[in-house]
Amino acid sequence: MPEASQSPSIITAAMLAIGDELLSGRTKDKNIGHLADLLTLSGIDLKEVRIVADEEDAIVEALNALRLRYDYVFTSGGIGPTHDDITADAVSKAFGVPCIYDPDAMKLLADMYKRREMEFTDARQRMARMPEGARHIPNPVSTAPGFIIGNVHVMAGVPQVFQAMVDNVLPTLRLGAKMLSRALPCPYGEGDIGTLLAEVQKAHPQTSIGSYPKYDGQRFSTEIVVRARDPQILDAAAEAVAEMIAGIDRAKTPTNPTADA
Amino acid sequence: MPEASQSPSIITAAMLAIGDELLSGRTKDKNIGHLADLLTLSGIDLKEVRIVADEEDAIVEALNALRLRYDYVFTSGGIGPTHDDITADAVSKAFGVPCIYDPDAMKLLADMYKRREMEFTDARQRMARMPEGARHIPNPVSTAPGFIIGNVHVMAGVPQVFQAMVDNVLPTLRLGAKMLSRALPCPYGEGDIGTLLAEVQKAHPQTSIGSYPKYDGQRFSTEIVVRARDPQILDAAAEAVAEMIAGIDRAKTPTNPTADA
């Protein structure tokens, strides 16, 4: 089991998205946000994301930095059949093991192409390559498996396949104490609330209070997000934030002395 | 001037996106793809992206790794008025200089809030903080400037503001020899083209040929992208790819011997 986390209930993760097309802007990544959502729901803290090109040295270096630091690493991209798909080689190199044509993966793919009466080309056989000793991540969409070695989970870049692989990986992970969160919409900009919110944060040190500015083209508003692992601690801080907003409301509303009633 | 690039015509860059909300999935990043598009148009190679949390150590470490390795670094996020906006402090720490209330930024903000008859709160004054000696990046959307120190360009996370700041930064950058690209749609999956495409790549070593699988829920097709800095080299490789696709077309189309005419 990975041992990088600070406490048994905090599980950390990093993602490494691999592909020239993400860095050229040709493809807009959809996998990072998807994984972030699911890890948050699983109580796993995504601490860092890196995007690197289809270059072996870049992949190896990033992967070795991330896998030693976090409990889990998830990669996307570079496991297809073409010459620029070099993730299996790079991951093998990072772990110092041979990159082999995995016999089980070869059989899965050979059977699938036979059923579909398609040739099992050299290029397609490349999709069976993975570090020796790796376990498969099933791919219900297009058969060619992802793989797991150590704490690294290697998945496809095509979002439909990535998502299917993530669905197969999540049940195998240790879950953390889930980070609970409460979002409070706030009609005021950060400049109006900043000082008060810093006081609320100081008074509730076991929570993490973030404020996220929104701009509608005319004015800023804010979404305030309180996060904590303990529900009571979360409630107390969320209440303090709501009271803070109500206090600004009262201060901004001109007193309306009723004339006679 | 930065000196990290391998040759005068290759200019490299990295992006550091800062914010807990990107890692929790609450906010889906829109800035990475936008910057990637504009850098590609400017002939600047975006080589790496990192996303880190609003944690000083994480920001300092990532920033120092990236700024020493690439010609330019662009950051997004964490320069607002609230307690969790710590990018100015972290960047100052990375450069080993004091984080100060920049007098020009204080004046810009004070004037703006005066015009709008709003209080220039302590929180709002935080937006004037930057490393001593930094230059401003103008912010036509909401006044509070980004800043430049060394080769690092610090910009806001709100996409409208980020984009406005990028527009102000781009004309100040050295432009590289622009990477040209040609995209060729290909109706075949990567397994059909992989072996042939690897041969085309081998025959055109001064180009970078990528293939990007698309999946429509039923079958895979591919977009093949040829990239090169020299237009003639690009043309020759793109032609070879087109000929490769036509060759597969011919092989897949059953010959239609006309009966008698």
Give tens-digit pLDDT for A199-247. Answer: 999 999 999 999 888 888 888 899 999 999 999 999 999 999 999 999 9
CB within 8 Å: A46 and B24: yes
Query: Could you tell me if residue A36 is inside a domain?
Result: yes
- B260 CA to chain A: closest CA distance, Å? 32
Query: Could you tell me if residue B35 is inside a domain?
Result: yes
Sheet holding B220-228, edge to edge: B180-186, B220-228, B208-215
Is the pLDDT score of A256 beyond 50?
no
Q: Which member of B20, B52, B198 has the closest CB to residue A210?
A: B20
Task: Name residue A134's beta-bridge partners.
Answer: none
pLDDT recorded at residue A17: 98
Give tens-digit pLDDT for B65-94. Answer: 999 999 999 999 999 999 999 999 999 999
pLDDT recorded at residue A215: 84
Query: Could you tell me if residue A95 is inside a domain?
Result: yes
- B134 CA to chain A: closest CA distance, Å? 22
Is the pLDDT score of B20 beyond 90?
yes
- A258 CA to chain B: closest CA distance, Å? 28
Same domain, residue pair A144 and A38: yes
> Could you tell me if A166 lies within 8 Å of chain B, comparing CB atoms?
no
- B-facing residues of A in 175-234 (CB < 8 A) are 179, 181, 183, 190-195, 197-198, 201, 208-215, 217, 220, 225, 227
Alpha carbon distance A70, A13 (integer Å): 5
Is the pLDDT score of B107 beyond 90?
yes
Same domain, residue pair B168 and B209: no
Confidence bin at B247 (pLDDT 50/70/90): very high
Confidence bin at A12 (pLDDT 50/70/90): very high
Same domain, residue pair B83 and B150: yes
Same domain, residue pair A241 and A140: no
Nearest in space to B60 (alpha carbons), one of B19, B90, B23: B90
CB within 8 Å: A82 and B33: no
Query: Could you tell me if residue A257 is inside a domain?
Result: no
Q: How far is CA B229 from CA A58, A182, B60, B180, B232, in A?
A: 22, 50, 34, 5, 9
CB within 8 Å: B36 and A24: yes
Domain count, chain A: 2
CB within 8 Å: A213 and B123: no
Query: Could you tell me if residue A155 is inside a domain?
Result: yes
pLDDT recorded at residue B252: 81
Query: Could you tell me if residue A151 is inside a domain?
Result: yes
Boundary-marking domain end, from B172, B207, B234:
B172
CB within 8 Å: B158 and A214: yes
pLDDT recorded at residue B216: 85
pLDDT recorded at residue A48: 98
Instruction: Kindly identify which residue of chain A lies nearest to residue B28, measuring between CA atoms.
Output: A33
- B4 CA to chain A: closest CA distance, Å? 16
Q: Could you list the beta-strand ranges (E) of chain A.
A: 11-18, 44-52, 72-76, 99-101, 129-131, 135-137, 146-149, 152-155, 180-186, 208-215, 220-228
Alpha carbon distance B191, A106 (integer Å): 14
Q: Which member of A45, A58, A198 has the closest CB to residue B82?
A: A198
Chain B hits for A81, CB-CB cut-off 8 Å, are: 190-191, 194
CB contacts < 8 Å between A and B, how many? 210
Range of the domain at A245: 180-252
Task: Name residue A101's beta-bridge partners.
Answer: A129
CATH number (domain holding residue A229): 3.30.70.600
Mean pLDDT of chain A: 92
Give tens-digit pLDDT for B204-237. Answer: 999 999 988 888 888 889 999 999 999 999 999 9
Nearest in space to B126 (alpha carbons), one of B139, B141, B145, B140: B145
CB within 8 Å: A190 and B54: no
pLDDT recorded at residue B8: 55
Confidence bin at A33 (pLDDT 50/70/90): very high
Alpha carbon distance A27, B210 (integer Å): 12
pLDDT recorded at residue A254: 61
Task: Name the 3-class secondary structure at A184.
Answer: strand
Same domain, residue pair B154 and B214: no
CB within 8 Å: A47 and B181: no
Same domain, residue pair A104 and A199: no
Is the pLDDT score of B130 beyond 90?
yes
pLDDT recorded at residue B259: 37
pLDDT recorded at residue A175: 86
Same domain, residue pair A196 and A216: yes
Give tens-digit pLDDT for B131-172. Answer: 999 999 999 999 999 999 999 999 999 999 999 999 999 999
Boundary-marking domain end, from B156, B172, B188:
B172
pLDDT recorded at residue A6: 47
Angle at which helices A159-169 and A31-41 cross, to 10°: 20
Alpha carbon distance A151, A128 (integer Å): 20
Please compute the mean of the pLDDT values over residues A114-139 and round it to a whole number: 96
Is the pLDDT score of B5 beyond 50?
no
Confidence bin at B63 (pLDDT 50/70/90): very high
Same domain, residue pair A167 and A197: no
CATH number (domain holding residue B52): 3.40.980.10
CB B74 within 8 A of CB B153: yes
Whether the complex's predicted ipTM surpasses the cut of 0.90:
no
Is the pLDDT score of A46 beyond 60?
yes
Q: Which amino acid is residue B58, in one-letter code? A: A
CB within 8 Å: A220 and B47: no
Q: How far is CA B60 from CA A14, A34, A51, B16, B96, in A?
A: 18, 27, 18, 11, 10
> Could you tell me if A105 lies within 8 Å of chain B, comparing CB atoms?
no
Same domain, residue pair A141 and A201: no
Same domain, residue pair A34 and A161: yes
Query: Could you tell me if residue B258 is inside a domain?
Result: no
Is the pLDDT score of B256 beyond 60?
no
Mean pLDDT of chain B: 92
Same domain, residue pair A152 and A194: no
Same domain, residue pair A51 and A163: yes
Boundary-marking domain end, from A172, A199, A217:
A172
> Could you tell me if B126 lies within 8 Å of chain A, comparing CB atoms?
yes
Please compute the mean of the pLDDT values over residues B95-121 and round it to a whole number: 96
Is the pLDDT score of B261 beyond 60?
no
Query: Could you tell me if residue A6 is inside a domain?
Result: no
pLDDT recorded at residue B255: 54
Is the pLDDT score of B6 beyond 80?
no
User: Which candidate in A44, A83, A184 is best for mutational testing of the B interface (most B CBs within 10 A)?
Assistant: A83
Q: Which member of A84, A113, A214 has the closest CB to residue B210?
A: A84
Kindly state the tokens that stand for A139.
Answer: 């791919």
